[in-house]
Structure 1
Amino acid sequence: MTKESGDDWERFSVALAEMARDLLAQESVQATLDRIVEHAKLLIKGCDEAGILTVSRREVYALAATSDVVRTADRLQQDFAEGPCFDAVTDRQQVYAIEDISRPNGRWPRFVPELRKLGMGSMMGFLLFTEEDELGALNVYSTRPCMFDETARRAGWVLASHAAVAFSASRTHQQLSHALETRHEIGEAMGILMGRHGLTEDTAFKVLRKASQDRNVKLRDVAREICRTGEKPD
Structure 2
Amino acid sequence: MAELARSLRRDRSLEDVLAEVTSAAVELIPGVDTAGILLVKRGGFDSLAVTSDLPRELDVLQMSFQEGPCVQAALADTVVRTDDFRDEPRWPQYSPAVVEIGVLSGLSLKLYTDDLTAGALNLFGFQPRRWDVEAESIGTILAAHAAAVIVATQHEHQLNAALLTRDRIGQAKGIIMARFGVDSVRSFDMLRQLSQEANIKLIDVAQQVIDTV
TM-score computed with the length of structure 1 as normaliser: 0.75
User: Offset at 1:112?
Assistant: 1.2
Within the candidate set 168, 192, 196, 2:151 is matched to 168
C-alpha distance after superposition, 1:89-126 (max 9, x if no partner): 343x321122233x232111211111223332322110
Classify the secondary structure of the residue corresponding to 1:106: coil
Distance 1:144 1:34, change over 3 A: farther
Residue 70 of structure 2 aligns to which amino acid in structure 1? C
Within the candidate set 68, 83, 88, 1:83 is matched to 68
**Any runs of at least 4 consecutive aligned residues in structure 1 with deviations exceeding 3 A, and if so which?**
23-27, 130-135, 147-150
User: Offset at 1:144?
Assistant: 3.6
Does 2:33 align with 1:51?
no
Runs of 5+ in structure 1 lacking a partner?
A: 1-15
The within-5 A match list for 1:26-175 is 31-32=13-14, 35-43=17-25, 44-45=28-29, 46-54=32-40, 61-62=45-46, 64-66=48-50, 67-91=52-76, 93-101=77-85, 103-129=86-112, 131-132=114-115, 134-146=117-129, 148-175=131-158
User: Could you tell me how far apart the structure 1 residues matched to 2:67 and 2:94 are?
Assistant: 7
User: Could you tell me how far apart the structure 2 residues matched to 1:153 and 1:213 are?
Assistant: 52
Paired residues in the alignment total: 208
Distance 1:225 1:140, change over 3 A: farther
RMSD: 2.7
C-alpha distance after superposition, 1:51-70 (max 9, x if no partner): 222366xx762352415432
Does 2:173 align with 1:182?
no
User: Could you tell me how far apart the structure 2 residues matched to 1:135 and 1:141 are?
Assistant: 19
Q: Percent identity?
A: 35
User: Could you tell me how far apart the structure 1 residues matched to 2:208 and 2:142 are?
Assistant: 44
User: Could you tell me how far apart the structure 1 residues matched to 2:111 and 2:103 are?
Assistant: 22
TM-score computed with the length of structure 2 as normaliser: 0.81
Runs of 5+ in structure 2 lacking a partner?
A: none
Does 2:205 align with 1:219?
no
User: Offset at 1:50?
Assistant: 1.1
Does 2:176 align with 1:193?
yes
Classify the secondary structure of the residue corresponding to 2:112: strand
User: Could you tell me how far apart the structure 2 residues matched to 1:100 and 1:124 are?
Assistant: 11
User: Could you tell me how far apart the structure 2 residues matched to 1:142 and 1:211 are?
Assistant: 58
Residue 18 of structure 1 aligns to which amino acid in structure 2? E
